[in-house]
Amino acid sequence: MNTSKNVLILGANGFIGSSLCWAILNRTNWNLTAFDMADGKIQHCLGRDRFVFKKGDVTKDTDWIEAQIEKSDVVLPLVAIATPALYVKDPIRVYNLDYESNVSVIKMCVKHKKRIIFPSTSEVYGMCQDSSFDEYSSNLTLGPIPKERWIYSCIKQLLDRLIWAYGAHEGLDFTLVRPFNFIGPKLDDVKNPKEGSSRVLTQFIHNIINGKSIKLVDGGKARRSFTFIDDAMDCLLKIIENKNGCASGQIFNIGNPYMDFSIKQLAEMLVELVATYPGYAEAAKNVKIEDVSSKDYYGEGYQDVAYRIPSIKHAEELLGWKPKTDLKTALKLTLDYHLAGKDYELESARA
Protein backbone atom coordinates (compact mmCIF):
# COMPACT_ATOMS: atom_id res chain seq x y z
CA MET A 1 0.00 0.00 0.00
CA ASN A 2 2.82 2.36 -0.82
CA THR A 3 1.58 4.43 -3.70
CA SER A 4 1.07 7.87 -2.23
CA LYS A 5 -2.50 9.11 -2.00
CA ASN A 6 -4.57 11.83 -0.37
CA VAL A 7 -7.57 10.29 1.31
CA LEU A 8 -10.52 12.28 2.70
CA ILE A 9 -12.84 10.67 5.28
CA LEU A 10 -16.02 12.49 6.27
CA GLY A 11 -17.53 10.97 9.41
CA ALA A 12 -14.14 9.84 10.70
CA ASN A 13 -15.25 9.35 14.31
CA GLY A 14 -17.79 6.63 13.63
CA PHE A 15 -17.11 2.94 14.07
CA ILE A 16 -15.95 2.37 10.50
CA GLY A 17 -14.32 5.80 10.15
CA SER A 18 -12.24 5.59 13.31
CA SER A 19 -11.10 2.05 12.55
CA LEU A 20 -10.20 3.07 9.02
CA CYS A 21 -8.21 6.15 10.13
CA TRP A 22 -6.16 3.94 12.42
CA ALA A 23 -5.61 1.30 9.71
CA ILE A 24 -4.53 3.91 7.16
CA LEU A 25 -2.07 5.60 9.51
CA ASN A 26 -0.51 2.31 10.60
CA ARG A 27 -0.53 0.30 7.41
CA THR A 28 -0.07 2.76 4.55
CA ASN A 29 1.88 5.90 3.70
CA TRP A 30 -1.25 7.79 2.56
CA ASN A 31 -2.07 11.31 3.69
CA LEU A 32 -5.36 11.44 5.54
CA THR A 33 -7.72 14.34 6.09
CA ALA A 34 -10.55 13.54 8.47
CA PHE A 35 -13.72 15.39 9.43
CA ASP A 36 -16.30 14.78 12.13
CA MET A 37 -18.35 16.58 14.76
CA ALA A 38 -16.54 14.63 17.51
CA ASP A 39 -13.13 13.05 18.05
CA GLY A 40 -13.57 10.60 20.94
CA LYS A 41 -12.75 7.51 18.90
CA ILE A 42 -9.76 8.93 17.01
CA GLN A 43 -7.70 10.04 20.00
CA HIS A 44 -4.76 7.86 18.97
CA CYS A 45 -4.71 9.42 15.51
CA LEU A 46 -4.66 13.06 16.61
CA GLY A 47 -1.21 14.57 16.30
CA ARG A 48 0.12 11.82 14.05
CA ASP A 49 2.08 12.62 10.90
CA ARG A 50 0.06 12.55 7.68
CA PHE A 51 -3.15 13.18 9.65
CA VAL A 52 -5.22 16.36 9.57
CA PHE A 53 -8.48 16.52 11.50
CA LYS A 54 -11.20 19.16 11.43
CA LYS A 55 -14.12 19.20 13.79
CA GLY A 56 -17.31 20.47 12.18
CA ASP A 57 -20.84 19.96 10.92
CA VAL A 58 -21.19 18.28 7.54
CA THR A 59 -24.39 20.19 6.84
CA LYS A 60 -22.72 23.58 7.45
CA ASP A 61 -19.01 23.34 6.57
CA THR A 62 -19.66 22.75 2.90
CA ASP A 63 -17.04 25.22 1.62
CA TRP A 64 -14.31 23.54 3.64
CA ILE A 65 -15.50 20.12 2.50
CA GLU A 66 -15.47 21.15 -1.16
CA ALA A 67 -11.95 22.57 -0.82
CA GLN A 68 -10.76 19.27 0.68
CA ILE A 69 -12.45 17.23 -2.03
CA GLU A 70 -10.57 19.30 -4.62
CA LYS A 71 -7.27 18.43 -2.92
CA SER A 72 -7.96 14.73 -2.43
CA ASP A 73 -7.57 11.65 -4.63
CA VAL A 74 -10.30 9.61 -3.01
CA VAL A 75 -13.29 10.54 -0.83
CA LEU A 76 -15.14 8.34 1.68
CA PRO A 77 -18.36 10.02 2.87
CA LEU A 78 -19.14 7.91 5.94
CA VAL A 79 -21.52 10.33 7.66
CA ALA A 80 -24.82 8.55 8.34
CA ILE A 81 -27.23 7.39 11.01
CA ALA A 82 -27.15 3.59 10.76
CA THR A 83 -29.16 2.25 13.71
CA PRO A 84 -32.53 0.59 12.97
CA ALA A 85 -34.26 2.03 16.05
CA LEU A 86 -33.66 5.53 14.69
CA TYR A 87 -35.02 4.66 11.22
CA VAL A 88 -38.32 4.10 13.01
CA LYS A 89 -38.08 6.84 15.65
CA ASP A 90 -36.72 9.70 13.56
CA PRO A 91 -36.88 8.90 9.85
CA ILE A 92 -36.79 12.58 8.84
CA ARG A 93 -33.49 13.09 10.62
CA VAL A 94 -32.18 9.96 8.91
CA TYR A 95 -33.27 11.37 5.54
CA ASN A 96 -31.75 14.82 6.15
CA LEU A 97 -28.39 13.49 7.19
CA ASP A 98 -28.04 10.28 5.21
CA TYR A 99 -29.51 11.59 1.96
CA GLU A 100 -29.19 15.38 1.79
CA SER A 101 -25.66 15.70 3.15
CA ASN A 102 -24.32 12.83 1.06
CA VAL A 103 -25.93 13.84 -2.20
CA SER A 104 -24.10 17.15 -2.07
CA VAL A 105 -20.77 15.38 -1.47
CA ILE A 106 -21.46 13.02 -4.38
CA LYS A 107 -22.10 16.01 -6.67
CA MET A 108 -18.87 17.65 -5.53
CA CYS A 109 -16.96 14.47 -6.44
CA VAL A 110 -18.58 14.54 -9.89
CA LYS A 111 -17.74 18.23 -10.33
CA HIS A 112 -14.09 17.83 -9.32
CA LYS A 113 -13.70 14.40 -10.97
CA LYS A 114 -12.68 12.67 -7.75
CA ARG A 115 -12.93 9.02 -6.90
CA ILE A 116 -15.65 8.22 -4.36
CA ILE A 117 -15.94 5.10 -2.21
CA PHE A 118 -19.48 5.14 -0.97
CA PRO A 119 -20.77 3.12 1.98
CA SER A 120 -23.90 1.47 0.71
CA THR A 121 -25.32 -1.08 3.15
CA SER A 122 -26.33 -4.71 3.46
CA GLU A 123 -29.75 -3.21 4.36
CA VAL A 124 -30.33 -2.52 0.66
CA TYR A 125 -31.05 -6.23 0.15
CA GLY A 126 -33.90 -5.92 2.66
CA MET A 127 -35.97 -9.11 2.77
CA CYS A 128 -34.28 -10.61 -0.28
CA GLN A 129 -35.05 -14.34 -0.53
CA ASP A 130 -31.77 -15.49 -2.08
CA SER A 131 -29.72 -17.88 0.03
CA SER A 132 -26.84 -15.42 -0.15
CA PHE A 133 -27.02 -11.85 -1.41
CA ASP A 134 -25.19 -11.05 -4.62
CA GLU A 135 -24.27 -7.52 -5.64
CA TYR A 136 -25.17 -8.03 -9.30
CA SER A 137 -28.10 -10.43 -9.32
CA SER A 138 -30.06 -10.23 -6.05
CA ASN A 139 -33.29 -8.30 -5.89
CA LEU A 140 -33.58 -5.51 -3.34
CA THR A 141 -36.81 -6.24 -1.46
CA LEU A 142 -38.36 -3.66 0.86
CA GLY A 143 -41.60 -3.59 2.87
CA PRO A 144 -44.54 -1.19 2.53
CA ILE A 145 -44.22 2.56 3.23
CA PRO A 146 -45.72 2.51 6.78
CA LYS A 147 -42.90 0.17 7.72
CA GLU A 148 -40.55 3.08 8.32
CA ARG A 149 -37.55 0.88 8.95
CA TRP A 150 -36.88 0.80 5.23
CA ILE A 151 -36.17 4.51 4.84
CA TYR A 152 -32.44 3.96 5.38
CA SER A 153 -32.30 1.10 2.90
CA CYS A 154 -34.26 3.12 0.35
CA ILE A 155 -32.04 6.21 0.74
CA LYS A 156 -28.90 4.15 0.31
CA GLN A 157 -30.37 2.37 -2.68
CA LEU A 158 -31.19 5.67 -4.38
CA LEU A 159 -27.68 6.99 -3.67
CA ASP A 160 -26.21 3.74 -5.04
CA ARG A 161 -28.26 4.19 -8.20
CA LEU A 162 -27.30 7.85 -8.52
CA ILE A 163 -23.59 7.05 -8.14
CA TRP A 164 -23.91 4.20 -10.63
CA ALA A 165 -25.57 6.59 -13.10
CA TYR A 166 -22.85 9.23 -12.67
CA GLY A 167 -20.33 6.46 -13.28
CA ALA A 168 -22.05 5.21 -16.42
CA HIS A 169 -22.94 8.58 -17.94
CA GLU A 170 -20.49 11.16 -16.58
CA GLY A 171 -17.36 9.13 -15.90
CA LEU A 172 -17.44 9.22 -12.08
CA ASP A 173 -14.84 6.84 -10.64
CA PHE A 174 -16.64 5.03 -7.82
CA THR A 175 -16.85 1.92 -5.66
CA LEU A 176 -19.94 0.94 -3.66
CA VAL A 177 -19.24 -1.05 -0.50
CA ARG A 178 -21.85 -2.95 1.52
CA PRO A 179 -20.98 -3.64 5.16
CA PHE A 180 -22.60 -6.70 6.74
CA ASN A 181 -23.00 -6.17 10.52
CA PHE A 182 -19.46 -5.08 11.34
CA ILE A 183 -18.59 -5.69 14.98
CA GLY A 184 -15.57 -4.85 17.12
CA PRO A 185 -14.26 -2.80 20.00
CA LYS A 186 -15.47 0.59 18.85
CA LEU A 187 -19.03 -0.19 17.76
CA ASP A 188 -21.36 1.93 19.96
CA ASP A 189 -20.58 2.91 23.53
CA VAL A 190 -21.48 0.01 25.85
CA LYS A 191 -21.60 2.32 28.86
CA ASN A 192 -24.14 4.58 27.23
CA PRO A 193 -25.93 2.54 24.57
CA LYS A 194 -29.03 4.75 24.29
CA GLU A 195 -31.47 1.98 25.27
CA GLY A 196 -33.13 0.60 22.18
CA SER A 197 -30.97 2.66 19.80
CA SER A 198 -27.73 0.74 19.59
CA ARG A 199 -26.69 -2.17 17.49
CA VAL A 200 -27.49 -5.51 19.03
CA LEU A 201 -24.02 -6.45 20.26
CA THR A 202 -23.52 -3.22 22.23
CA GLN A 203 -26.98 -3.43 23.69
CA PHE A 204 -26.47 -7.00 24.88
CA ILE A 205 -23.06 -6.33 26.47
CA HIS A 206 -24.50 -3.29 28.26
CA ASN A 207 -27.48 -5.23 29.55
CA ILE A 208 -25.40 -8.16 30.82
CA ILE A 209 -22.90 -6.02 32.74
CA ASN A 210 -25.57 -3.75 34.19
CA GLY A 211 -27.92 -6.46 35.48
CA LYS A 212 -30.64 -5.72 32.90
CA SER A 213 -32.40 -8.47 30.97
CA ILE A 214 -31.42 -9.20 27.41
CA LYS A 215 -34.40 -8.67 25.13
CA LEU A 216 -34.71 -11.02 22.20
CA VAL A 217 -36.85 -9.35 19.58
CA ASP A 218 -39.38 -11.90 18.28
CA GLY A 219 -37.46 -14.66 20.09
CA GLY A 220 -34.08 -13.77 18.55
CA LYS A 221 -34.68 -15.97 15.52
CA ALA A 222 -33.39 -13.39 13.03
CA ARG A 223 -29.93 -14.25 11.74
CA ARG A 224 -27.02 -11.99 10.85
CA SER A 225 -23.58 -12.55 9.35
CA PHE A 226 -21.26 -10.67 11.68
CA THR A 227 -17.97 -9.34 10.33
CA PHE A 228 -15.00 -8.47 12.49
CA ILE A 229 -13.84 -4.93 11.91
CA ASP A 230 -10.20 -5.85 11.14
CA ASP A 231 -11.31 -8.16 8.33
CA ALA A 232 -13.46 -5.34 7.00
CA MET A 233 -10.51 -2.93 7.15
CA ASP A 234 -8.32 -5.36 5.16
CA CYS A 235 -10.96 -5.25 2.45
CA LEU A 236 -11.46 -1.49 2.55
CA LEU A 237 -7.72 -0.82 2.31
CA LYS A 238 -7.56 -2.96 -0.84
CA ILE A 239 -10.49 -1.02 -2.27
CA ILE A 240 -8.87 2.36 -1.52
CA GLU A 241 -5.55 1.09 -2.94
CA ASN A 242 -7.39 0.08 -6.13
CA LYS A 243 -4.50 -1.80 -7.70
CA ASN A 244 -4.83 -1.69 -11.51
CA GLY A 245 -8.30 -0.17 -11.08
CA CYS A 246 -9.65 -3.48 -9.69
CA ALA A 247 -12.26 -1.75 -7.53
CA SER A 248 -13.33 1.02 -9.90
CA GLY A 249 -16.96 0.86 -11.03
CA GLN A 250 -17.61 -2.14 -8.76
CA ILE A 251 -19.96 -3.06 -5.92
CA PHE A 252 -18.57 -5.17 -3.07
CA ASN A 253 -20.28 -6.93 -0.20
CA ILE A 254 -17.95 -6.79 2.79
CA GLY A 255 -19.14 -9.54 5.06
CA ASN A 256 -18.42 -12.89 6.57
CA PRO A 257 -20.76 -15.65 5.34
CA TYR A 258 -19.15 -18.07 7.80
CA MET A 259 -20.39 -16.00 10.76
CA ASP A 260 -24.13 -16.53 10.20
CA PHE A 261 -25.72 -16.80 13.67
CA SER A 262 -29.15 -16.18 15.16
CA ILE A 263 -29.51 -13.30 17.62
CA LYS A 264 -30.41 -15.88 20.26
CA GLN A 265 -27.14 -17.71 19.63
CA LEU A 266 -25.29 -14.40 19.88
CA ALA A 267 -26.91 -13.70 23.26
CA GLU A 268 -26.05 -17.15 24.60
CA MET A 269 -22.47 -16.98 23.39
CA LEU A 270 -22.00 -13.54 24.93
CA VAL A 271 -23.37 -14.55 28.33
CA GLU A 272 -20.98 -17.51 28.38
CA LEU A 273 -18.00 -15.34 27.43
CA VAL A 274 -18.76 -12.44 29.78
CA ALA A 275 -18.78 -14.95 32.65
CA THR A 276 -15.07 -15.61 32.02
CA TYR A 277 -14.05 -11.99 32.79
CA PRO A 278 -13.00 -11.25 36.38
CA GLY A 279 -15.70 -9.26 38.13
CA TYR A 280 -18.46 -10.11 35.67
CA ALA A 281 -19.21 -13.79 36.38
CA GLU A 282 -22.01 -12.96 38.81
CA ALA A 283 -23.67 -10.52 36.41
CA ALA A 284 -23.52 -13.09 33.60
CA LYS A 285 -24.93 -15.84 35.84
CA ASN A 286 -27.90 -13.70 36.87
CA VAL A 287 -28.82 -12.24 33.48
CA LYS A 288 -32.31 -13.00 32.26
CA ILE A 289 -33.07 -13.52 28.59
CA GLU A 290 -36.61 -12.38 27.70
CA ASP A 291 -38.63 -12.47 24.52
CA VAL A 292 -40.20 -9.23 23.33
CA SER A 293 -42.31 -8.54 20.28
CA SER A 294 -40.78 -6.28 17.65
CA LYS A 295 -43.85 -4.06 17.95
CA ASP A 296 -43.24 -3.52 21.67
CA TYR A 297 -39.49 -3.05 21.25
CA TYR A 298 -39.31 -0.85 18.16
CA GLY A 299 -42.91 0.16 17.39
CA GLU A 300 -45.27 -0.40 14.45
CA GLY A 301 -42.83 0.90 11.84
CA TYR A 302 -40.37 -1.95 12.32
CA GLN A 303 -39.99 -4.99 10.14
CA ASP A 304 -37.07 -7.36 10.53
CA VAL A 305 -34.64 -8.95 8.11
CA ALA A 306 -34.83 -12.71 8.69
CA TYR A 307 -31.28 -13.42 7.50
CA ARG A 308 -28.50 -11.58 5.77
CA ILE A 309 -25.74 -13.67 4.25
CA PRO A 310 -23.33 -12.05 1.80
CA SER A 311 -21.92 -13.62 -1.30
CA ILE A 312 -18.27 -12.54 -1.22
CA LYS A 313 -17.12 -14.18 -4.42
CA HIS A 314 -16.76 -10.79 -6.04
CA ALA A 315 -14.38 -9.50 -3.34
CA GLU A 316 -12.50 -12.81 -3.38
CA GLU A 317 -12.02 -12.75 -7.13
CA LEU A 318 -11.28 -9.07 -7.74
CA LEU A 319 -9.55 -8.11 -4.50
CA GLY A 320 -8.14 -11.43 -3.30
CA TRP A 321 -9.85 -10.81 0.06
CA LYS A 322 -11.42 -13.24 2.49
CA PRO A 323 -12.47 -12.69 6.14
CA LYS A 324 -10.43 -14.61 8.71
CA THR A 325 -11.90 -13.98 12.17
CA ASP A 326 -14.47 -16.30 13.79
CA LEU A 327 -17.27 -15.01 16.01
CA LYS A 328 -15.79 -16.18 19.29
CA THR A 329 -12.50 -14.40 18.61
CA ALA A 330 -14.33 -11.25 17.50
CA LEU A 331 -16.45 -11.23 20.66
CA LYS A 332 -13.47 -11.88 22.91
CA LEU A 333 -11.48 -9.01 21.38
CA THR A 334 -14.48 -6.73 21.85
CA LEU A 335 -15.00 -7.83 25.45
CA ASP A 336 -11.26 -7.48 26.22
CA TYR A 337 -11.63 -3.84 25.22
CA HIS A 338 -14.75 -3.15 27.26
CA LEU A 339 -14.32 -5.41 30.27
CA ALA A 340 -10.57 -5.95 30.62
CA GLY A 341 -9.43 -2.42 29.74
CA LYS A 342 -7.28 -3.57 26.80
CA ASP A 343 -6.54 -0.80 24.34
CA TYR A 344 -7.28 -2.74 21.20
CA GLU A 345 -5.71 -0.32 18.76
CA LEU A 346 -2.42 0.14 20.57
CA GLU A 347 -2.08 -3.58 21.27
CA SER A 348 -2.78 -4.62 17.70
CA ALA A 349 -0.44 -1.93 16.32
CA ARG A 350 2.36 -3.32 18.52
CA ALA A 351 1.65 -6.95 17.60
SS3 36: strand
Please report whether residue 156 would count as binding ligand UDP according to CB under 6 A. no
Contact segment (CB under 6 A) with ligand UDP among 23-31, 70-78, 199-207, 242-250 equals 199-207
Please report whether residue 199 would count as binding ligand UDP according to CB under 6 A. yes
Annotate 80-131 with DSSP letters as a single string. Answer: ----HHHHHH-HHHHIIIIIIIHHHHHHHHHHTT-EEEEE--GGGGBT--SS
- Is the CB of 21 or the CB of 217 nearer to ligand UDP? 217
Query: CA 311 to CA 252: how far, in whole Å?
Result: 9
Contact segment (CB under 6 A) with ligand UDP among 9-17, 29-37, 213-221, 234-242 equals 213-221
Query: CA 193 to CA 184: how far, in whole Å?
Result: 15
75-104 residues near ligand UDP, rule: CB under 6 A: 84
Please report whether residue 208 would count as binding ligand UDP according to CB under 6 A. no
Contact segment (CB under 6 A) with ligand UDP among 5-13, 112-120, 211-219, 248-256 equals 211-219
Among the listed residues 114, 115, 215, 338, the single contact to ligand UDP using CB under 6 A: 215
Please report whether residue 304 would count as binding ligand UDP according to CB under 6 A. yes
Please report whether residue 181 would count as binding ligand UDP according to CB under 6 A. yes
Among the listed residues 12, 208, 222, 247, the single contact to ligand UDP using CB under 6 A: 222
Number of residues in contact with ligand UDP, rule: CB under 6 A? 14
- Is the CB of 174 or the CB of 182 nearer to ligand UDP? 182
CA distances from 255 to 53, 131, 309 (A): 29, 14, 8
177: β partners: 119, 252
The number of beta carbons lying within 10 Å of the beta carbon of residue 192 is 10
Q: In sequence order, what are the residues at sequence separation of 6 or more whose Cβ sits closer than 8 angstroms to the Cβ of residue 237?
A: 1, 23, 24, 27, 28
Provide the phi-psi class of 191: left if phi over 0, else alpha when psi is between -120 and 50, else beta: alpha
Please report whether residue 206 would count as binding ligand UDP according to CB under 6 A. no
Beta-strand runs (E) in 147-197: 174-179, 182-183
- Is the CB of 84 or the CB of 119 nearer to ligand UDP? 84
Task: Give, for 290, the enclosing helix (H) or strand (E).
Answer: strand 289-292
Please report whether residue 72 would count as binding ligand UDP according to CB under 6 A. no
In degrees, to the nearest 5, what angle opens at C-alpha 299 toward C-alphas 296 and 302? 115
- Is the CB of 51 or the CB of 258 nearer to ligand UDP? 258
Binding site for ligand UDP (CB under 6 A): 84, 181, 199-200, 203, 215-217, 220, 222, 224, 263, 304-305
